[in-house]
Amino acid sequence: MAIAEPWHVRARGRECAATQTAFSEGETIVTALFPDPESSGYLRRDYCIQGWTDHQASGETAFSFWRTTYAIPTGNEKTNPVEKLSAEEILRRLIDEDEDHTENTRFILAVMLERQKILRETDSQRTPNGILRVYEQRKTGEIYIVKDPDIPLSQVEAVQDEVIILLENNGNSPKPVEMAEAPAETDAEIEPTPVATEEVTSEEVATEPSDSEDHRDPPESDSTQGAGDAFP
């Protein structure tokens, strides 16, 4: 993977991390992300307003924090594997897998869900490995951290096509069709083409004149007879 960090952070807590006071529906709270000392990822903590004020006095610096409205979590419903996965479920799976080749796809999915008012970008932070964008699920408070790959404009359409294919195939990339190769011919399998020949019989050989007979000199004529004919 390109960056060894867990991008999918757990859902919203039910009580203040500082005071342990249970949140109430519609209460304004502060969500904060902190570097995890035991890994290269992040820890999430949710605070009531007073709890956040008390925490700031401790001097611990958060990687990112923002205010949000608390809604009672409805719980993670089990997904029927036969049912079609939503864009958010596909994004969650790709983030958990954290494969290099899906980095662009994750970002496009997050932007798409933001435009659909399902996610909202709460913060962006520049790190040595690039810009990290923090998205919060508006209803559940679930957090997704997505790297901005700074996709060139010339590649945006291709990535969008890839997202459409994922949505149409329930989050799976169709395997390319492999063309069967024709078996190579071996020397044993290649037979020489027979050459047609004419069969000559012994009788044909006997009747055909030989070269010596065709080119024999004509018989010599009688010289006296010839001279008399020429001179009467």
pLDDT computed for residue 205 by the predictor: 44
Summarize the confidence of residues 163-170 as an average pLDDT.
78
Residues 6+ apart with CB under 8 A from 192: none
What pLDDT, on a 0 to 100 scale, did the predictor assign at position 159? 82
Q: What is the pLDDT of residue 228?
A: 42
- Measured in residues, the chain has a length of 232
Res 190: pLDDT: 52
Query: How many angstroms separate the Cα of 127 from the Cα of each of 3, 124, 132, 133, 189?
Result: 11, 10, 7, 11, 64
Comparing 41-45, 85-89, 164-168, which segment has the lowest mean pLDDT? 164-168
44 near 7, Cβ under 8 Å?
Answer: no
Give, to the nearest 10 degrees, the angle between helix 153-168 and helix 87-97: 110
Asked if residue 226 has pLDDT above 90, the reply is: no
Provide the mean pLDDT of the chain: 74
Name the amino acid, one letter, at 1.
M
Task: Give the Cα separation of 9 and 29 in Å (integer).
Answer: 17
Give residue-wise pLDDT tens across range 38-71: 776 788 899 999 999 999 988 888 988 999 999 8
Report pLDDT for 151.
Answer: 85
Predicted local confidence at residue 71, as pLDDT:
86
Specify the pLDDT at position 183: 55
Residue of 62, 52, 51 lying closest to 21 (CA atoms): 51
Residue 193 pLDDT grade (very low, low, confident, very high; cuts 50, 70, 90): low
The better pLDDT of the pair 66, 213 is held by 66
pLDDT for the residue 86: 86
Checking if the pLDDT of 202 tops 70, the result is no
pLDDT value at residue 129:
81
Strand pairing report for 130-137 and 119-127? antiparallel
